[in-house]
Amino acid sequence: MSQHAGQITAAGGEWEVTFEPAPTDVTDAVDDAYRQKYAGNPYLAPMIRNEVRAATVRIRPRIN
C-alpha cells in the first residue's frame, strides 16, 4: 500500500495493479453485508472494526 502499486496473481495470470483506499460507500456496503450474514455471531464485531475498514482496498489494473 505504501507504493500504491503491485502485482496480483489470480485465475492463472499475473497483473500489474494499483491499490487505493476503498471509498466509504464501499466499506459501508461491506460492513452491512457482514452484519446481515453474521448477525448474532460473536465474531461480527471484530470484522467491522475501524482498523479492518482501513485495510479494505480498491485494486485496479495499472495503466502504463
pLDDT tens for each residue of 19-41:
999 999 999 999 999 999 999 99
Range 35-44 contact pairs with CB under 8 angstroms and sequence separation of 24 or more:
none
3-state SS class at 57: strand
**pLDDT exceeds 90 at position 61:** yes
pTM score, whole prediction = 0.71
Residue closest to 19 by CA, chosen among 8, 5, 34, 36: 5
Mean pLDDT to the nearest integer, 32-58:
94
Res 4: pLDDT: 87
How do the domains of the chain map onto residue ranges?
5-61
